[in-house]
Amino acid sequence: MNTENSKNKKNRRQIVPLLQPKDAMKRVAKRFRSLQSPDGYWVFALEADVTIPSEYIMFNRFLERKIDPAVAKRLGNYIRSKQMPDGGWPLHDEDGPINISASVKAYMALKMLGDDKDAEHMVRARRTILAKGGAETSNVFTRICLATFGQIPWHCPPAMPIEIVLLPKWFFFHLDKVSYWSRSVIYPLLIIYAKQPVCKLRLEEAIPELFCKPAEEHIHIDKYRDKSWRKNAFILLDRILKRTLHLIPDMIHNKAIKYAEKWTREHMAGRGGIGAIFPAMANAVTAMHLLGYDESDPDFARGLKAVDDLMVDKFQSSDNSPREYTVVTGGRELSAAPELDISPGKGTAENLEQCMCQPCNSPIWDTCLTLSAMMEAGEDQNSKLTQQSIKWLWDQQIFFKGDWKSKAPKLEGGGWAFQFENTFYPDLDDTAMVLMAMARAGVLENKDNHENFVKGVNWLLGMQSSDGGYAAFDIDNCALYLNDIPFADHGALLDPPTSDLTARVIELLGVIGYDQNFKPIRQGIEFLKKEQEEDGSWFGRWGVNYIYGTWSVLCGLRQVGEDMNSPYICKAVEWFENHQNKDGGWGESCLSYNNQNYAGLGDSTPSQTSWALLGLMAAGKVNSKAVSRGIRYLLETQKEDGSWNEKHFTGTGFPKVFYLRYHGYSQYFPMWALGVYDRFSAGEDTKQIMMRLDAPLDLGRKW
C-alpha cells in the first residue's frame, strides 16, 4: 500500500493537535454500531418537500384505496407542520420561499383528508396561493395531477402523445435521449395521458377556490415568451399536436399503448418498483389501473407494495432514544428515527406524531458513506461491523445490463444502485463511493475480491462521456434543447456530466493506483478545469451546492497527485476560507441554485461543515485556523448520544425544483471529517491514503 510523498507528510507531522476529537468519534461510533441492521446495512430516512406525501394521499384517492385513519392523521400532521407562517409550503427549509406547486398539492391533499377550507391554516394557504397567481401557475406535473382529478381540462397540460414511444432513435426526440428518472416517469405517464382519466371529487374535496380565473376558461396555460425562439417553437408544436392527436389511426395508438405497457412491466420487475423512485412507481401503478389491472396482477400488486414501502411510520420526536420505538420503511427498520423539528407555534401535543412518504430509500448510499466514515474514525477492518457491511454491499452489485446499454451495448455491468433494488439503473456516484469504501476496508488485500472490484471500475470507465466528464446514470445525455419543450418546465429532463461525479471517479482511480498518466484521469481533470467557477468553486449537482461540488473536486484532485498549490486549487481554498461562518461552520442555502450570490452562504450545518473541512484538508490545510474552527464547531454542536442536529436540506434531487434532507448526512459526514482530522493531526495517513495501491490495479483491458 502507498503513502503520500515525503514533503506533504513532513508538513503534516509538524501539526500540533489543539483539538481532541477522539471522544466525539467514540460517541458516534457507538451510535453507528447500535444502528447497523443485522444484514449489515444502514438506512436513514430520506425526506423531500410536502409534494411526496401529498401525492401519496392523492394516489390512494385516485385508486379509491382508503388510508388507515391513524396514518392519515399522521400524514396530515406532517403536511401542516411544514406550512410557513404566510400560508404556503416551500421546496426546502422552513424559511421558504414558498412554492406554488407544492402549496397547491398540499392544500388539495389536506382537503382530501377532510380539512375544512375555512380552517385558519387553509385560509392562509389559499390567500397565499391566489396572491402568487393561483393554481393555474402550477408546474406541469401539478397540472397533470389537477387534470386527473377534474380540476382543469386535459388540454391545460402539455401534449404527451403516447405515439412518441414508436419514434426512431435518430429523431430529435426519443426517450433514450432523456435521463433515467425522466424516462421511468414518462413511459407510464404517457399511458395516463392517453387515457386522460377524470377522478370525480366530492364537493368538499375540489379546489376551485385556488384559481384566479375559472379553470374551464383556460385554453393555453403555456404562453409564448420574448426572445426564446426555441421554447416558442415547441409551444407552437404543442398547440398543433393538441389539435391533431385525434387524427392518429387507432391501430398506431393501440400499438403505442402496448409498447408502453410492455416497457413499464419490464421495468416494474423486482421489489424496488419502476426506477425505485416514488413518481415513477405511482405513475406505473396508476397506468396499470387505467389499463384494467388490479391487485390480482403480480406487477400491479408488487408496484403497489413498493409505493407503500416508502412510508416512514412512525415519525416521532427526536427527544426519544432511537431504539425506544420502531421506524419502518419498506418492511425494514430504519437505522434511526427521522429527526422531528417542531418549531415554537408549529407543534402541539396532538401533532407530534407524524409520518411521511419518502421519494425513495438510500441504503447503499448510507451504507458506503457510513462505512467510509467508520474506517477513517478507526474501525477495525476485520471487525464484525466492517465485514457484515462489506458482504451486504457485495451482494448488491448489479451485473444486469440496464437502460445504460443503449449507449454502451458492449460494456459489461458491475455497478451499484442507490436503493435496496434498482436493477435497471445503477449509478456512478454510488458505484464509486462503494468501491472507495471497500478499498478503505481492505478488500483489495484479498485477490479473490479483485474480479468483481475490477468489474465495477470498468463499468465506471465505460460510462465516461465524450467531454471527459461523468454523469449519474447515462453517457452523453446532453440534448439540452429538450429542456425547452413545454413538458420540461422543471429543467431537469437530462443527465449531463457534472463536476462532483467526475471528481468522484477520479478519486477512485487514484485509490487504485492510477495517476495523471492515465487518459481517463487527464480527460476528467480537463473537464473539471473547464467547469470551475470564476470565484474558484465548483457547482454541486447532487449536494447543496458549491460547498458540495468544491469538496468533491478537491478530494478527487488530491488523490491523483495534482499539485495542491496550483493557482486554481488555491483559488478554491480561498473560496472556502472566505465563506466560513462566524461560528466556525459552513452552510449554504438551496437558494444558491437560483442565484449564485447565495453561493456558500447560509446557516452552518454539520454536513456542509464536514464537506468544507474534508476539502480544505485534502488541499493540505489541516493546520489552518479555518480547519481548527470548523472542527471546534463540530465538537461543540455534537449531542450526548453522538449525533448532530440538522434541519436544513443539503441534498439535491433536481436544482431549483426538488431538494432532499438526508437524515444520515448530519451523522456520518461529521464523523468522517473528525476521523480525517484526527489522523492528520497525529501525523498519520488517512485510511484511504494507507490503502492506496502501489501499482495500478490490473483492469484486464486498456482504456
Radius of gyration of the chain (CA): 25
Residue 71: CB atoms within 10 A of its CB come to: 15
Beta bridge partners of 415: 398
412 is written with which cell numbers? 459489461
Q: What angle do CA 9, 13, 14 make, to 5 degrees?
A: 125
Q: What is the SS3 assignment for 291-323? A: CCCCCCCHHHHHHHHHHHCCEEEEECCCCCCCC
Cα–Cα dist 636/498, whole Å: 34
Q: Which residue has the cell 377556490?
A: 209
How many of the other CB atoms lie within 10 Å of CB of 331?
Answer: 10
Q: What are phi and psi of 354, to 5 degrees?
A: -140, 160
Coil, helix or strand for 481?
Answer: helix
Q: Please tell me the distance from the alpha carbon of residue 279 to that of residue 13, in angstroms, as a whole number.
A: 52
Kindly provide the b/e burial profile for residues 383-409, where b requires at least 16 CB atoms within 10 angstroms of the residue's own CB: eebbebbbebbbebbbeebbbbeeeee
> H/E/C letters for each residue in 102-146?
HHHHHHHHHHHHCCCCCCHHHHHHHHHHHHCCCHHHCCHHHHHHH
Could you give the count of Cα atoms lying within 13 Å of 669 in the half-sphere of its Cβ?
Answer: 27
Torsions phi, psi for 215 (to 5 deg): -55, -40
Give the cell for residue 23. Answer: 471522544
Q: Is 429 a catalytic residue?
A: yes
Q: Please tell me the distance from the alpha carbon of residue 273 to that of residue 253, in angstroms, as a whole number.
A: 26
Given a contact cutoff of 8 angstroms between Cβ atoms, the answer to whether 473 and 495 are in contact is yes
159 Cβ neighbours under 8 A, 6+ residues apart: 238, 241, 242, 245, 486
CA dist., res. 87 & res. 124, Å (int): 4
Q: Which residues contact 439 (CB under 8 A, 6 or more apart)?
A: 508, 511, 512, 688, 691
- From the list 429, 474, 484, 495, the catalytic residue is 429
Strands (E), 3-155: 46-47
- For the chain, percent helix, then strand, then coil, each to nearest 5? 50, 5, 45
Select from 543, 429, 553 the least CA-distant residue to 180: 429
Cβ pair 223, 133 in contact under 8 A: no
Grid-cell match 385508486, residue found: 63
Q: How far is CA 56 from the centre of its chain?
A: 19
- Catalytically active residues, by annotation: 429
